[in-house]
Amino acid sequence: MMGLIFDMDGVLYRGSEPVEGAGELIRLLRGRRIPFIFLTNNSTKDPSMYREKLLSMGIDVSEERIVTSGLATRIYMEKHFEPGKILVIGGDGLLREMERLGWGVVGVEEARNGEWKDVKYVVVGLDPELTYEKLKYATLAIRNGARFIGTNPDTTYPAEDGLHPGAGAITAALKASTDVEPLIIGKPNEPAYEVAREKLDGVDEIWMVGDRLDTDIAFAKRFGMKAIMVLTGVNSLEDVERSGIRPDLVLPSVKELTGYIKAKLEEEG
Amino acid sequence: MMGLIFDMDGVLYRGSEPVEGAGELIRLLRGRRIPFIFLTNNSTKDPSMYREKLLSMGIDVSEERIVTSGLATRIYMEKHFEPGKILVIGGDGLLREMERLGWGVVGVEEARNGEWKDVKYVVVGLDPELTYEKLKYATLAIRNGARFIGTNPDTTYPAEDGLHPGAGAITAALKASTDVEPLIIGKPNEPAYEVAREKLDGVDEIWMVGDRLDTDIAFAKRFGMKAIMVLTGVNSLEDVERSGIRPDLVLPSVKELTGYIKAKLEEEG
């Protein structure tokens, strides 16, 4: 059976505008019981926040189908690491996921009281409330032996007025101040694949639908997925030509993907 | 005639404690009219703030002898660049120097009102008040064509509880978010040498006295100065052995330098 992984921003919507045909595609998949999940490198929101956002654009999916890099970080840590206190640099979504681990989160107040010495994990995503003090305690904790984990490698975050610094810019600062290489969870890395693979249990062919060559398409190619690129997001056809990363299929948008999937289903009977 | 450049922290004092013999050495140099300056990669304080700090430790030097990386940045920009608005990420010392240029400083308030679009220079030092918002406007401005300048390359800053993030960690975040390589002013780079050289006009042999191999000693070797390392700061004799950077002379502290200079002066008559 086939299954799909969708990136969200630039694929199903742009900012707060749905891409035409996104709702219909999702209804088709649900109707035909084709397994699919949404997988985003964003860690500032959690799945319940994304469910609401998608609903407001007419796309109705359960939380279980939504995997943020924050959720993937929680699942990966739960499976591979021993419990230990966490210092979080990130938005509300990441903070919630880390609190759900139940291992204890060390805030700036506690860090000030010397609790950075007890920190076992420093987990870093895009943090709109980043301060020097947070970088300071993260640096002290990592230099003290805490494991350094980044939710995703994106160095920028596309916003209305241009590109803002992403999680990858904040991890770059800490890499410089600690000389330690972080474990990065999100696309195109292995931890994100491991978490997505488990969500798509029983599927033997995965189609990865995304707009970014360096994350989505590189991720698909690295792990043997069918790489489907849509042109409603960050990268263009010219980028494909310039890049060494080759999608298996390029479509104007997810609208055309609906027809493509219908044709495939009819073929198979 | 010979002249000397001293690094300050780890050479003349540690934290707020003077190194034994530092005051005597400075009195000797002033008495014999040997030219000398203090050159620090720190940009958070300005020369008047350093003069006060040094005075409190019994070391009396005029502001003119004190060159911070913030001052060096101002002097270098004044000489080489056209006037233009500046976005500053840095402490009070750097902010004061940039205001002294008289080119206009764009604060966060103004940046919020869209003035980041007028920014011609983004100047970055260690900023204890760093926020995500500052990184955001710096990223937007640099991506909009503003020149990216770092006061110094130090990725860490030694404090009582360990190493904190330095200016080089903050520039690393912006390098990641902009894909632009900054011009770095401080040791061991050429702009710092150019500024120091002018302050030591008429001198034909410079002795650079410092505690850090990667900044002070590398700086001395790169620009043909006599590299004198003292062991009262960051690096040890073992570091010298491990490193590829070879000082010309290693002394326990500036105390021994006083005797060394006296002997040299007697030799020369």
Å between B225 CA and nearest CA of chain A: 28
Instruction: Look at residue B260 and tell me if it is in a domain.
Output: yes
Q: Could you read off the pLDDT of B181-222 as tens digits, one per residue?
A: 999 999 999 999 999 999 999 999 999 999 999 999 999 999
| Same structural domain, B241 and B259 | yes
| Same structural domain, A151 and A176 | yes
Chain A hits for B163, Cβ within 8 Å: 139-140, 143, 177
The predicted pLDDT at position A70 comes to: 98
| Same structural domain, A176 and A86 | yes
| Same structural domain, B245 and B216 | yes
Mutate to test the interface with A, among B108, B152, B164 (most CBs of A within 10 A): B164
Which helix (H) or strand (E) segment is B159 a member of? strand B156-159
Which DSSP state fits B151?
A: S
| Same structural domain, B176 and B98 | yes
Q: Could you read off the pLDDT of B69-95 as tens digits, one per residue?
A: 999 999 999 999 999 999 999 999 999
Chain B: residue nearest A168 by CA? Answer: B176
Domain's final residue, options A164, A184, A204: A184
| Same structural domain, B176 and B99 | yes
Among A129, A132, A165, the residue with its CB nearest the CB of B139 is: A165
Q: Could you read off the pLDDT of A113-157 as tens digits, one per residue?
A: 999 999 999 999 999 999 999 999 999 999 999 999 999 999 999
Instruction: Look at residue B254 and tell me if it is in a domain.
Output: yes
| Same structural domain, B253 and B220 | yes
The predicted pLDDT at position B31 comes to: 95
Among B128, B129, B176, the residue with its CB nearest the CB of A172 is: B176
Q: Could you read off the pLDDT of A48-91 as tens digits, one per residue?
A: 999 999 999 999 999 999 999 999 999 999 999 999 999 999 99
| Same structural domain, A178 and A87 | yes
Q: How confident is the model at residue B15 (pLDDT cuts 50, 70, 90)?
A: confident
Residues A152, A69 contacting (CB under 8 angstroms): yes
Instruction: Look at residue B55 and tell me if it is in a domain.
Output: no
- Using a 10 angstrom Cβ sphere, with 0-12 exposed, 13-18 middle and 19 or more buried, the burial of residue A201 is exposed
Within 10 Å of residue A226's Cβ, how many Cβ atoms? 16
Question: What is the average per-residue pLDDT within B45-58?
Answer: 95
Q: Could you read off the pLDDT of A211-262 as tens digits, one per residue?
A: 999 999 999 999 999 999 999 998 999 999 999 899 999 999 999 999 999 9
Instruction: Look at residue B163 and tell me if it is in a domain.
Output: yes
| Same structural domain, A247 and A173 | no
The mean pLDDT value of chain A amounts to 96
Instruction: Look at residue B71 and tell me if it is in a domain.
Output: no
| Same structural domain, A173 and A203 | no
pLDDT exceeds cutoff 90 at B268: no
**CATH code: domain of residue A170:** 3.40.50.1000
| Same structural domain, A202 and A171 | no
Å between B141 CA and nearest CA of chain A: 10
Do the chains contact at A166 and B173, CB–CB below 8 Å? Answer: no
Question: What is the average per-residue pLDDT within B150-171?
Answer: 95
| Same structural domain, A89 and A161 | yes
Number of separate domains in chain B: 2
**Six-digit token string for B219:** 């700086």
Domain's final residue, options A132, A155, A184: A184
The predicted pLDDT at position B67 comes to: 98
pTM, rounded to two decimals: 0.94
Instruction: Look at residue A22 and tell me if it is in a domain.
Output: yes
Which helix (H) or strand (E) segment is A22 a member of? helix A22-31
Tally the residues of chain B: 269
Q: β-strand B66-68 against A162-165: which pairing, if any? A: unpaired
Domain's final residue, options A163, A184, A205: A184
Instruction: Look at residue B51 and tell me if it is in a domain.
Output: no
The predicted pLDDT at position B131 comes to: 98
Question: What is the average per-residue pLDDT within A1-19?
Answer: 94
Q: Which domain holds residue B122?
A: 82-184
The Cα B137–Cα B114 span in angstroms is: 9
Chain A hits for B164, Cβ within 8 Å: 136, 139-140, 177
- Using a 10 angstrom Cβ sphere, with 0-12 exposed, 13-18 middle and 19 or more buried, the burial of residue A167 is buried
Among B127, B168, B177, the residue with its CB nearest the CB of A156 is: B177
